[in-house]
Amino acid sequence: MTPTQPTLLVLDADPPPRLGRLTGRARVVRTDAAHLAERLPTADALLVWDFASHAVREAWPGDGPRPRWVHTASAGVDHLMCPELAASDTVVTNARGVFDQPIAEYVAALVLAVAKDLPRTLDLQRERTWRHREGRRVAGTHACVVGSGPIGRAIARTLKALGVTTALVGRVPRTGIHGPDDLDRLMARADWVIAAAPLTEETDGMFDARRFGVMQPSAYFFNVGRGRLVVEDALVQALTRRWIAGAALDVFDAEPLAGDSPLWELPGLIVSPHMSGDTVGWRDDLGAQFLDLYERWAAGRPLVNVVDKKRGYVPGH
């Protein structure tokens, strides 16, 4: 070990793959949330591998000595951002790119499953009941995808490949992407509304009672972004009162979802455990992506996937 080795602090619950490649080139220090605050001032870089943790936000040392670089093994950065980190010169990068195609396939799975009434088929199978029903054609339907980053765009590409007319909504209108002013109109005509936006001040609670109210009674709402995009009570009401036909939530205000949450048994709601982006090999993909960024950082080359800390996401093309 030489004194020139940078200290890489790793906030994890289980060890990330591939860090063995840094042997002799970085002093890798693993920490849990309880010891994060005391270790942050001595770290040159921080890898937030435990992306469910909010510990960084709580432990960030403000003006004091701090890592020059923070990488989170997640697409969203809402769990670690705080005003002090946003104001600092610390560079934040994210896992942009790893989850795009898996999440797009997951959304396609939800669209097709509810269109073909698959959950009901599985219910009837448990009852040993043969009951013919009619599915819906997916080709020719309309989707509104909220979130115009790589994940939203991958969802749009995949749905289009299935013949779904798909509109993308982003923070600002640009070629091929609608701005927020179009959202109500697009939601009103959509068969599928998909939330895939980052959690920011602008998107916090954006799917509320008024917005569910403009949707068609035959339409479905899917959230694969962040739990707080949705006012959960408003969704409960929209489903209970049959304002919409159904919904699926992969993300929640509080994760894991509490065992006594009414969401588990809400008719028409599919609950999944924040898994839409996680396919076999995803942890290795995240490890490889971090290693690539580390090589750039150690060599003094520009990082990619750099988060705009004020906005809360990596600005798009």
Residues 129-148 that bind a second copy (CB under 8 A): 129-139
Smallest distance from the beta carbon of 61 to a second copy, in angstroms?
31
Distance from C-alpha of 186 to C-alpha of 193, rounded to nearest angstrom = 9
Please tell me whether residue 109 binds a second copy under the rule CB under 8 A: yes
Are the CB atoms for 292 and 61 separated by under 8 Å? Answer: no
Dihedral in degrees, nearest 10, Cα atoms 272, 278, 281, 287 = -140
Length of the chain: 317
> Applying CB under 8 A, which of residues 51, 69, 106, 243 lies at the interface with a second copy?
106
Q: Please compute Rg for the chain using Cα positions.
A: 21
Measured distance between the N- and C-terminal CA atoms of the chain, rounded to whole angstroms: 41
> Applying CB under 8 A, which of residues 264, 292, 295, 310 lies at the interface with a second copy?
264
Please tell me whether residue 236 binds a second copy under the rule CB under 8 A: no
Look up 274 and say whether it is catalytic.
Answer: yes
A 10 A CB-CB count for 301 gives 10
Backbone φ and ψ for 248, nearest 5 degrees, come out as -140, 130
Stretches 56-64, 85-93, 154-162, 197-205: which one binds a second copy (CB under 8 A)? Answer: 154-162
A 10 A CB-CB count for 283 gives 16
Are the CB atoms for 192 and 219 separated by under 8 Å? Answer: yes
Please tell me whether residue 275 binds a second copy under the rule CB under 8 A: yes
Please tell me whether residue 74 binds a second copy under the rule CB under 8 A: no
Q: Which of 144, 154, 147, 146 is nearest to 98 (CA)?
A: 154
Please tell me whether residue 1 binds a second copy under the rule CB under 8 A: no
Please tell me whether residue 254 binds a second copy under the rule CB under 8 A: no
Please tell me whether residue 37 binds a second copy under the rule CB under 8 A: no
Smallest distance from the beta carbon of 280 to a second copy, in angstroms?
5
Which entry of 71, 178, 228, 274 is annotated as an active-site residue? 274
Are the CB atoms for 142 and 189 separated by under 8 Å? Answer: yes
By beta-carbon proximity to a second copy, the closer residue of 113 and 188 is 113
Look up 226 and say whether it is catalytic.
Answer: yes
Distance from C-alpha of 246 to C-alpha of 217, rounded to nearest angstrom = 9
Taking CA atoms, 146 is separated from 2, 206, 264, in Å, by: 49, 10, 25
Please tell me whether residue 182 binds a second copy under the rule CB under 8 A: no
Please tell me whether residue 158 binds a second copy under the rule CB under 8 A: yes
Smallest distance from the beta carbon of 190 to a second copy, in angstroms?
17
Please tell me whether residue 172 binds a second copy under the rule CB under 8 A: no
Smallest distance from the beta carbon of 147 to a second copy, in angstroms?
19
Please tell me whether residue 253 binds a second copy under the rule CB under 8 A: no
Which entry of 58, 202, 255, 295 is annotated as an active-site residue? 255
Distance from C-alpha of 46 to C-alpha of 44, rounded to nearest angstrom = 7
Please tell me whether residue 267 binds a second copy under the rule CB under 8 A: no
Catalytic residues: 226, 255, 274
The binding site for a second copy (CB under 8 A) comprises: 101-102, 105-106, 108-109, 112-113, 115-119, 121-122, 124-125, 128-139, 158, 161-163, 255-257, 259-261, 264-265, 270-276, 278-282
